[in-house]
Structure 1
């Protein structure tokens, strides 16, 4: 009875804390919420867990050693903050992820390439979210870091450094723990991005806890780049003169995982869309209004065979707004024509180990999941599974029935590109299973968790937990 009472009390405390978070968030001053018009509260995940040892005895989880980590994701389409709450476990056992607070703005840091101080200021509201999510007693021991992805990789190095310097100054003025500039703010390379996503997925699904881990590979489709990461089972992949250059060792607990990980900068959904449009503009392929439209278009205006007839759309990427109109007079051959354009772009740009062709399943994340959820092929909350051939058939269906997606003019183009990456880039068999989700155990699936585990590694090593 006493244990039950304690659990009820613990749950009450948690609910009170969440309620307090809502109240404090609503009481933020307008001067703090510098980007309040683009600010939206998103998600709190909470997990009530105890560790079960291999002999089926329940080990009591220590309650007096909780840790937090704050990770900022400066992406190509916006900035995000993740606040992770961990709890210590017995020696040799991975820490338990108790909760996550996630929030974002639609303001990419790269947008402030010419005004770095404003760029740092755009993160203040997210920094306030982090502080409100952590007990003040833990602020000084909670590390904070920002990792930028493809968005900052695509702007001049000098401007990117100026942005990161301003962000570091912002963090230094906060009450959180700040390491050296190199450890706190950096442009994450694609290799780390792929590894951290793999770690996140396999940490959340329990594969990294098992003494005989059965891990899953990950395909992460971002806006500016895309990554593939998996644990090779064939010696040829590990020793190949080309593929061997992409083998990286990642230590976790008592394992050293030799991962194949490769990042393709410029093959993210938004970056690829822009490059495909540029190629169409330079080399109009199909008969129709294409030649005239392309010749008269401005530097940020395009015409494409991948858009339904008589439609147009605008989209933002890298701080620019692009306008696209259809070059099709009829829709009968839209899928085939779009596929030809997309395949010409992908051809020879994606080279991966043949071992991938023998895989049975991969996690397909980010835009792979998002576009599938938007056309109701997988559930928004629960995710789902699609075969590679299902993804291709979905692209054909959307292109053919484009009137059903009149408010989504780029859906045909995007789905043709995504399905082509799977079939013509990675060369997956039609029966390979794509596991698509945005959450595992109610926690967001993003590379930020893997990066935070790495950020906290030193602490746990000092505590002899890792």
Structure 2
């Protein structure tokens, strides 16, 4: 049965005797570096199927991320309390005590000092414990980057109908968050697995009695916001109150404050120097070169779905429609990055960082992962009306323990 034909499969299943299928709910919080998001899933599970059918997703997000409250952890609890109201509206009251609530934090909290991260998570745990929902063991934690990549891969392949036992065609994923970036795909060639720099780049999980061996890696500090800091030489820098971080990727006359992860930076263009694509590319190349591993096969491995900031910046730069998404070649990012960077006075209204962001994405895809300029990427925000993210995969894993 195709897992994604949910509408078709739901109608008959609801009219079957009750014991053959049941509706259940699950609440997943994604605590990212730039925002906290809630996904409330409605699943239908029939006895005959290993995986449930996803009927519906309620999605809501709040900015900034929890890491912005590193010095005021009770605000993290307040954010989660606000989002839990969405869950209470979506899940029928009688189901509350059976509905699990889970929060997984990603790179924003991985980048914080351990005690600050734990203070935030303790606040969340407190809010969960006083809520009417089911709070499983280990309901609040920081997820490791490898799982973030695998779970996003599970989500996208579940939503595109590629997870059933007969299917050997799968889709790869490219996820660009604020703090980290992930690449995950199912290699066709043994050499891809054999030529990884360290064993960490390979992970496996089981489903439908078959084991998938994936190429997957998460680069901490290479999400879009962390990459801005790295480009500006501001990652881990001291003296933030008096230093100004300059870049030829920013408009010459631009000068402002910019905040990420609870810290504020003074940033500016280079009023005496040059700006533009070439110089900007050299700056971002230092962040990417020699750090991002190029997998042995990329071209014919699979279609790649790119989401999160890949999608958002493609929309900001006018490359794709903000609702529909669409197919782009890697060279489309490059061409638009050149246009934005070389005419920075034209684009400052959207974001003074658009040149830097578009150049970074181009550099990450080309000089980082080693995609050809002609590689086609599927830019997406939602698949079948469900957010493209690791959250759905995390919920499926919670019920089925797919990852080992």
Is TM-score (shorter-chain normalized) higher than 0.5?
yes
**What CA distance in whole angstroms lies between the structure 2 residues aligned with 1:248 and 1:427?**
21
Q: Is 1:432 matched with 2:347?
A: no
Q: Is 1:345 matched with 2:287?
A: yes
Q: Is 1:102 matched with 2:102?
A: no
Which deviates more from structure 2 when the two are superposed, residues 223-232 or residues 237-246? 237-246
Which deviates more from structure 2 when the two are superposed, residues 219-228 or residues 340-349? 340-349
Shift of 1:114: 2.9
2:68 match: 111
Which structure 2 segments of 5+ residues have no match? Answer: none
Which of 381, 392, 396 is residue 449 of structure 1 equivalent to?
392
1:373 match: 315
2:209 match: 254
2:345 match: 403
**What CA distance in whole angstroms lies between the structure 2 residues aligned with 1:233 and 1:257?**
11
Q: Is 1:232 matched with 2:183?
A: no
**What CA distance in whole angstroms lies between the structure 2 residues aligned with 1:274 and 1:302?**
9
Kept in 2, the 8 Å contact 1:281–1:303? The answer is no
Structure 2 counterparts to residues 207-222 of structure 1, below 5 A: 207-209=162-164, 211-222=166-177
Aligned residues: 393
Q: Is 1:178 matched with 2:120?
A: no
1:43 match: none
SS of the residue 1:171 aligns to: helix
* TM-score, with length taken from structure 2: 0.90
**What CA distance in whole angstroms lies between the structure 1 residues aligned with 2:161 and 2:303?**
17
SS of the residue 1:147 aligns to: strand
Question: Rg larger in 1 or in 2?
Answer: 1
Kept in 2, the 8 Å contact 1:167–1:185? The answer is yes
Mark the CA change 1:397 to 1:210 in structure 2 (over 3 Å): closer, same or farther. farther
Kept in 2, the 8 Å contact 1:79–1:109? The answer is yes
**What CA distance in whole angstroms lies between the structure 2 residues aligned with 1:424 and 1:63?**
56
**What CA distance in whole angstroms lies between the structure 2 residues aligned with 1:448 and 1:373?**
22
Q: Is 1:361 matched with 2:303?
A: yes
Report the structure, 1 or 2, having the larger helix content. Answer: 1
2:23 match: 66
SS of the residue 2:25 aligns to: strand
2:231 match: 276
Which deviates more from structure 2 when the two are superposed, residues 351-360 or residues 163-172? 351-360
Shift of 1:367: 0.7
**What CA distance in whole angstroms lies between the structure 2 residues aligned with 1:401 and 1:111?**
33
SS of the residue 2:27 aligns to: strand
SS of the residue 1:123 aligns to: helix
Q: Is 1:383 matched with 2:325?
A: yes
SS of the residue 2:298 aligns to: helix
1:135 match: 92
